[in-house]
Structure formats: structure tokens, C-alpha cells
Amino acid sequence: MKPFFASLTALLLGVVVVFGQGIPRDPYNGAIVVDATTGDVLFEDGADRPGYPASMLKLMTLFVVLDRVEAGYLRLDEIIPVTKEAMRMGGSQVWLDPRESFPVDELLYALIIQSANDAAALLAQYVGGSMEGFVEMMNNKARELGLSPITRFRTPHGLPPGAPNVRHDMTTPRDFAMLCKALLEAHPETLRYTSETRREFRANAQPPFQPMIMETHNHLLGKLPGCDGLKTGWIRASGYCIAVTAERNDRRVIAVVMGSEKRATRDAKASELINRWLPEAKPKSVAKPKPQPEPVQAVQAPEAADEAVEDEAADTPAARRGGRRVVGWLLTVGLVAVLVGLGVRRHLLISR
């Protein structure tokens, strides 16, 4: 079996090399829609094509952090001091400064709403001991969720690698939809972060720091009915990506669109897929059956119970004593009969 798995791994890596450059296409590189309740695939087109998730992968960063909170190793109100390494992250950020400290909860809002790379780096350092340690936690989580070997995380933020020989973060629409479904099931509070469109950061800042207003990159929030998440992503190599979820009439779906050349095209296709397939999802109240009560132990039928009682009565002490009296009476009668018989015989013999 080992040679088989080795060949399979080599084949998958070959697929990544050939198709995994994340080249943006029109309208997308790959897409999928799944029923968030059942996991059923409602639509797929290139769902297994590898691509770069860019900032979409911050959902896995959120997943790992919330896991640690749930396990009791971390608190949402726990204060994290800013590091110089986190401050130096480029791209979208909230301009963290080493003179500042923030609670985990505020950094999670910055991670999702502002898509702040500096917040992602700081959370990773603090939770994982280092960014490398946190990335290992991300990949362990991916294996735990059963994602394919194609999905491989190398950063907690999704920025392109700083060196030419370093690989990008990689995933597929199918894998990422599985991740989103698992995240919503394990941590429904995820929607508290992903549904926000605008939020103040550093609300209580003191000079020289100033509060800033964070605004979401997910332009479907407030426009697509029922949309309450999840996350967008973009780097030049990946094109525009989005993992989006919406709920209407007790139905919820997740759509993942990766590798669009234009943001408008990505958003239009994601909206189209949600509107088309959301009515096909199963209602949550129907798809998730209520827990069944414990089975009631069968009661014995009256006839069987009577038979059992009769069987027990046949072997009571009183019954045994009654039986012995009958046997004794029969033995006595028999003995008298024998004695009478002997007496009669003796009388006859004497008479002769």
C-alpha cells in the first residue's frame, strides 16, 4: 500500500505544479456551492483546481484561535502586547505599534473586517509561540478536517512569499468550503465577526494613537439578502477570491469562488450562485433530526406474566409440603394393604 500512497502523493503534487499557479480566469478558476447543513454539493465547476486563497485563509487563523479559546487555553479578553515583527507586516493592516496592547477579541475583528495582516501575525505569534508554530497548528487542523493534501498553509495571513523559492499558501474551492462549513458548526460565533461591515478600532486610544474605522472588504454584506459572511482575498497571483455564506428561510449555503480576474465578476458570480442554489438547500430544522428519546424497555404481556407466576407457584415451599403429604398418605395406604394381604394369606393357610 505504501507505494500506492507514494504514487498518489506524487500525482497530487504534479497536479499542483501544473494547475496550481492560481492564474486568474474569467469568470473564475474554480467555484463550489455546498449546503451548510448537510454538506451536500449543490454546484461545482473546477472545485478541485488548486489556487491561492490569499486573505481568505484568515478564516483558518480564526478557526485555530477560537479552538484555543473553547479549550480554555486563551480568553477573548486576554491582552496581547504588540511585537515589532507584527508591526512590520505589509498590506492591509491596522497599524499596530509595539507600545500598544490589545485584547484577543479586538484583534479578531481586525483580522476579519480589516483583513489586517499585522493582527494575523500578532495572534499567530502569541497563540503558536511563533508564526511557524501557528502555521503548523493550521495544517494540523486541515488534516483533522480531512482536507486534501493540496491544501497547505504557509502563513497566517495569505500574503505572497517574500522569497522566489518559497511556496504560496494553497487550497481548492472544495477544501475551503469544507473548512467554512466546519468553522460555522464548531464556532457559530464566527458570524459575529464576519457579518460586521464597519467597526472602530482603538476606540479608547490615547495620544499619540488615534482611533480608526475598519470597513469590510466583503461588499456582498448588506447587498446580498441573508449574507452574513465570510471572507474575501486578493493578491496579484491569486486573483479575487471569496468565501460567502447566506441564510434565508431556514436554509444556509456556502459558496467559494476563487481566481476571478475582476472583483466585480467575483462578486457577481458569488451572488448568482447563492441566489440560484440557496432554495435547493434543505431547511435546517428538517435536515437535522431532533435527538430520539431513549428506547423504552418492553413490558411483558399479561399472558406471559401469568405463565411466569404459575411456574413460580409450582415450586413454592407450600407446594412442596403438600406433595410430601400426598406421597406419605399413599405409602401408608399401600403398607396397610400389604399387611392386610399378609394376614388374609396366613388365615387361609391355617384353615387348610
Q: What is the pLDDT of residue 76?
A: 98
Q: What is the pLDDT of residue 293?
A: 52
Band the pLDDT of 285: cuts 50, 70, 90. Answer: confident
What is the C-alpha separation between 110 and 340, in angstroms, rounded? Answer: 118
End-to-end Cα spacing for the chain: 109
Band the pLDDT of 288: cuts 50, 70, 90. Answer: low
Q: What is the pLDDT of residue 6?
A: 42
**CA angle 267–268–273, rounded 5-degree value:** 100
User: Has residue 162 got a pLDDT over 80?
Assistant: no
- Between these two residues, 340 and 195, which has the higher pLDDT value? 195
Three-state secondary structure call for residue 187: coil
Cell of 60: 483558518
Per-residue pLDDT, averaged over 244-272, amounts to 97
Residue 251 bridge partners (DSSP): 248
- Between these two residues, 168 and 315, which has the higher pLDDT value? 168
User: Has residue 326 got a pLDDT over 80?
Assistant: no
Q: What percent of the chain has pLDDT over 70?
A: 74
Q: Are strands 101-103 and 79-81 parallel, antiparallel or unpaired?
A: antiparallel
Residues 270, 33: contact at Cβ < 8 Å? no
Ranges 38-52, 133-147, 306-320: which has the least confidence: 306-320
- Between these two residues, 122 and 305, which has the higher pLDDT value? 122
User: Has residue 330 got a pLDDT over 90?
Assistant: no
Ranges 77-91, 127-141, 156-170, 295-309: which has the least confidence: 295-309
Give the C-alpha distances (Å, rounded to integers) separating 291 from 39, 294, 295.
Answer: 19, 9, 12
Per-residue pLDDT, averaged over 51-62, amounts to 97
Per-residue pLDDT, averaged over 231-249, amounts to 96
Domain 18-287 fold is: Beta-lactamase (3.40.710)
Q: What is the pLDDT of residue 292?
A: 53
Long-range contacts of 65-70 (CB under 8 A, 24+ apart): 65/104, 65/108, 65/123, 65/127, 66/186, 66/187, 66/189, 66/190, 67/141, 67/186, 67/187, 68/127, 69/104, 70/186, 70/187
What is the C-alpha separation between 231 and 335, in angstroms, rounded? Answer: 106
Structural domain spans, the chain: 18-287
Q: What is the pLDDT of residue 166?
A: 75
What is the C-alpha separation between 205 and 189, in angstroms, rounded? Answer: 26
Q: What is the pLDDT of residue 90?
A: 87
Element (DSSP H or E) covering residue 252: strand 251-260
Count of CA atoms in the C-beta half-sphere (13 A) of 242? 34
DSSP tag of 291: P
Residues recognised as catalytic: 55, 58, 115
Note the pLDDT tens digit of each residue in 210-225.
999 999 999 999 999 9
User: Has residue 295 got a pLDDT over 60?
Assistant: no
Q: What is the pLDDT of residue 119?
A: 98
Q: What is the pLDDT of residue 200?
A: 97
Three-state secondary structure call for residue 80: strand
What is the C-alpha separation between 202 and 93, in angstroms, rounded? Answer: 13
What is the C-alpha separation between 142 and 145, in angstroms, rounded? Answer: 5
The whole model's pTM is what?
0.77
Q: What is the pLDDT of residue 294?
A: 53
Q: What is the pLDDT of residue 25?
A: 84
Per-residue pLDDT, averaged over 181-189, amounts to 98
Locate the DSSP E strands across 28-73: 30-35, 41-45
Q: What is the pLDDT of residue 310?
A: 29
